[in-house]
Chain A
Amino acid sequence: MTNNTGILGFGAYIPMRRLQRAAIHAANGWFAGSLGGLARGEKAVASWDEDVVTMAVEAARDCLEGYDRNAVDAVWLASTTHVFADRQNAGIVKEALNLADATGAMDVAGSMRAGTSSLIAALQTAATGETVLHCAAERLMPRPASEREMLSGDAAAAILVGQGELIANLIGSHSVTADFVDHFRESNQSHDYDWESRWIRDEGFAKLMSTAIIEALDKFGVEGSAIDRFIVPVAVRKVPELLAKKTGIAEKAIADTLGATLGHSGAAHPTLMLAHALESAKPGEKILLTSFGQGCDILLFEATAAISSMKPRLGVSGWLARRREDSNYMKYLFFRNLIDLDRGMRAEHDQKQPLTSLWRNRKAVLALVGGRCTKTGTIQFPKSEISVNPNDHAIRTQEDYPLAEVSATIMTYTADSLTYSPDPPNCYGNIEFEGGGRMMAEFADVDPKAIEVGDKMRMMFRIKAIDELRHFRRYFWKAAPAF
């Protein structure tokens, strides 16, 4: 690996709703009283219309802010909770980002190490001159009243790796593989099965992981004391401290695991913590990224002088600040399909997805690409053969006009309690894009009582509808209050 390969940019996404752990315990404490000690702080929870794909798209947008998307050669997505077992999830991310068709894509899965193993492979690919957008996202489905439910959180992160104007160089990477089964989840199962935590701590973290870190530092030729930021994406308390002590890394180098504010986002967590560290890293700092899952991955980066000038749109701290406190545990259960509420007949509406029309219209549907009349400049959504301009219905004059990154203003709105929505009332209205173009859009992450004509909105990639009959989901863009 050459030393001119590394990180070009980074981004993150954290869902807005923050479920209070006290609310979880208030509901489950009668049954799982032993979890009372964890009933502090909050965890980020995805809305009903968010999954690994949508969160990855938002993290990628955060990362690519201001970056020429034409320079991205491949999109990779790591997760243990991929939406589709056979339909490329990274391919949907590619479409939503409106990247050129000549872009590579790959899904990575299989363990809590998926994110770091994918990142190592991305860096190796980057060494050949390609630019890879590495994304990691997770939406775990912990069993209600489990410790994992308390500790986990939903999030996504993205790291753009390649060569050129790097903000951090890769110094080296090291991997250890060992079938240490601290927890497992078979394909098609929702919930994890966990083994005893004391064994995991003593044999897993204290032996397997610390040894791997020591080996890695030796391989990189770096002393533990030289590490400025030590990323240990482990939700068990005191484990980072234990590892720091065993590897000679200063305790002050230990990075915040974001347990109090977000929770552990599974295979996305190492990438997310790396994005968080990069936000405040100073030139010359050495960042040691580790991960644990049937072995360990260890990567060492050194921040360059360029780090001060490259920032994501929001980054981890920006997304953490975009927060809505929520104590509605029942809503959380319902959004995750863990409780079967009576949804009424309107929820029975069947919308079979004609895959043929999705293919023809994929730019409009997945990337929110509208049209711009090359003759009159009229912008519209969707694109059409004849321009909507009443003064010149020009025929076949439209070129692609992407609207996903254009801000919009509310023209009309309602909060509809009649139509079915998993999160009633369903809020929607006509919006107008800055510079032209209109559509009627559903609103996401909105307070139904605080909508007004003239409000500024930002488009977000979300699930539009879930087809429970055929196990498919439609994606489209919704308007969220500007942030």
Chain B
Amino acid sequence: MARGIKNKVAILGMGCAKFGEHWDKDEDQLMLEAYEEAIADAGIETSQIDAAWLGAAFDAVNIGPSGIPLSIALRLNDIGVTKVENYCASGTESFRGAVYAVASGAADIALAMGAEKLKDTGYGGLPVRTRGTMHDMIGITGSAPGNFAQLAAAYRAEHGISKDDLKRAMAHVSVKSHANGSKNPKAHLRNEVTMDQVLNAPMIAEPLGLYDCCGVSDGAACAIVTTPEIARSLGKTDIVTVKALQICSSNGWEMQGSGWNGSYFHTTRVAATRAYEEAGITNPRKQLSLLEVHDCFSITELVTMEDLHISDEGQGWKDVLDGFFDADGQLPCQIDGGLKCFGHPIGASGIRMLYENYLQLLGRAGERQRKEQPIFALSHNLGGMPNQNVSSIAIVGLADA
């Protein structure tokens, strides 16, 4: 394994726009909202930023191609700006670009932005789009819920769980996230929901009902990173560093090979193992303090608890029902409401997760602040579909952790 980047990069500042249906805003306004918070937090000038990355997944229906929308929106100082797209993991991919630039020494200070303006398409849910000419001939033009719903069928079959038990565990995931989101002023959805509401909601893609699906939002989130040394020289005392950053992309094995059973994310398992090794974490269930995972759908969050090696295989649904991942549980998951309620402006989500973990580590999360001081906080940002995807994991913690 590579030496990794543990403690080589510090987060200097972060910002996040309020997520939601911003009928009155364009992308550049959302990016500026996130940026103003981040640059103020960092305590630097725009001219000090050496390089920038922009994560956006549906650029064709909102922001448009290239890194230029970001450099124009922030009037960046004639620096290199790169647009990255890696499905719904685009946010963490953007962060990875900035972090690697600093870790390599190519940049002293780098910026990562994630932004998406999804509410200009005219319909709910994610836009339909092509996945390439070959896919359009032999693949399925399904929906995101339809793709992820299939996890449930396979998970039930693999672990012999009844439809009702799994549906209840999935519902608990959503009830918990709505309770958390209600406490977050920047969240898109701030209403609490009951088990009955979730269980009786209209079916979107069997067995996922309306409340098993996350919101589709407009939003932007921003991170400014540098080295721990530069952060200290700029006067920072509580320093949050990157402990691990891993991305794993499917190579077609799940969909075309043999061995995968359809009930889990192969990529997440691999990325998690590598991330723990990079961060020096040996017992994630005990050592992690917070989880922000890619809960695009309730079933995704549920199986991810196993893929992150926190729950045993086939047991995640029990941990969920036991409240292990509730805000007052042993390992809170989506303490900010998650994609489910904070919202899911695709390219922004990975950085939004880091934003929450950053605030929590620094004790700046307000009403939703975890009582015990968090040590390691993990974010998991996933793109694609269960049989072919990009899974990214970022672990952050205080510099001395």
Contacts and interface: CB of A to CB of B under 8 A. Distances in A.
A364 interface: yes
A344 interface: yes
7 contacts: A345-B122, A349-B141, A411-B154, A414-B206, A416-B205, A430-B262, A453-B157
Interface stretch (A253-261, A326-334, A438-446): A438-446
B256 A438 contact: yes
B151 interface: yes
Given A365-B137, A417-B203, A428 B153 contact: no
Interface in A412-447: 412-420, 425-426, 428-430, 432, 436-442
Interface in A426-483: 426, 428-430, 432, 436-442, 448, 452-454, 464-465, 474, 476
B61 to A, nearest CB: 12
A440 B206 contact: no
A407 interface: no
B27 to A, nearest CB: 21
A247 interface: no
Interface string B355-380: 00000000000000000000000000
A212 to B, nearest CB: 47
B235 interface: no
Nearest to A478: B140
Most buried by B among A364, A420, A429, A452: A429
Given A357-B134, A425-B206, A436-B258, A414 B141 contact: no
Given A378-B257, A419-B128, A428-B146, 10 more contacts: A354-B133, A381-B138, A381-B256, A388-B251, A388-B253, A413-B150, A418-B146, A426-B142, A429-B150, A442-B140
A436 B204 CA distance: 32
Given A388-B252, A428-B140, A430-B387, A414 B262 contact: no
Per CB-CB distance, the 3 closest pairs between chain A and chain B, nearest first, are A416-B146, A412-B150, A453-B157
Interface of A: 344-346, 349, 351, 353-354, 357-358, 361, 364-365, 378, 380-382, 384, 388-390, 411-420, 425-426, 428-430, 432, 436-442, 448, 452-454, 464-465, 474, 476
Contacts of A442: 140
A380 B154 CA distance: 21
Contact of B137 (A415, A439, A440, A476): A476
B214 to A, nearest CB: 13
Interface string B268-300: 000000000000000000000000000000000
B244 to A, nearest CB: 24
A416 B142 contact: yes
A432 B134 CA distance: 20
Given A388-B257, A454-B157, A346 B142 contact: no
B133 A357 contact: yes
A382 B134 contact: yes
A454 to B, nearest CB: 7
Interface in B136-166: 136-143, 145-147, 149-151, 153-154, 156-157
Interface residues of B, number: 44
Contacts of B133: 354, 357
Contacts of A464: 137
A57 B205 CA distance: 31
Interface string B198-215: 000001111010000000
Contacts, number: 139
B62 interface: no
B102 to A, nearest CB: 34
Contacts of A384: 252, 256
Given A425-B206, A440-B255, A419 B154 contact: no
Contact of B149 (A344, A358, A414): A414
A388 B133 CA distance: 20
B161 to A, nearest CB: 12
Contacts of A357: 133-134, 137
A425 B204 CA distance: 9
A371 B153 CA distance: 28
B257 A380 contact: yes
Given A346-B123, A382-B134, A412 B262 contact: yes
A390 B253 contact: yes
Contacts of A349: 128-129, 141
Contacts of A452: 153, 157
Contacts of B130: 351
Contact of B257 (A345, A389, A440): A389
B125 interface: yes
A286 to B, nearest CB: 48
A430 B255 contact: yes
Nearest to B124: A418
A414 B146 contact: yes
A437 B138 CA distance: 14
Given A351-B136, A419-B142, A414 B153 contact: yes
A411 B258 CA distance: 11
Nearest to B137: A365
Nearest to A346: B128
Contacts of B145: 414, 416, 418
Nearest to B388: A440
A474 B136 CA distance: 9
B29 interface: no
B153 A453 contact: yes
Contacts of B255: 430, 438-440
Given A364-B138, A430-B262, A415 B206 contact: yes
B141 A465 contact: yes
A437 B255 CA distance: 9
Contacts of A346: 123, 128
B261 interface: yes
A380 B260 CA distance: 14
Contacts of B121: 345
A413 B156 CA distance: 12
A414 B137 contact: no
A377 to B, nearest CB: 11
A71 to B, nearest CB: 29
A476 B129 CA distance: 19
Contact of A453 (B139, B156, B205): B156
A393 to B, nearest CB: 9
A382 B387 CA distance: 15
Nearest to B125: A418
Contacts of A440: 139-140, 255, 387
Q: Which of B137, B142, B261 has the most CB of A within 10 A?
A: B137
B123 A390 contact: no
B40 to A, nearest CB: 40
Nearest to B122: A345
A268 B134 CA distance: 34
Contacts of B140: 428, 440-442
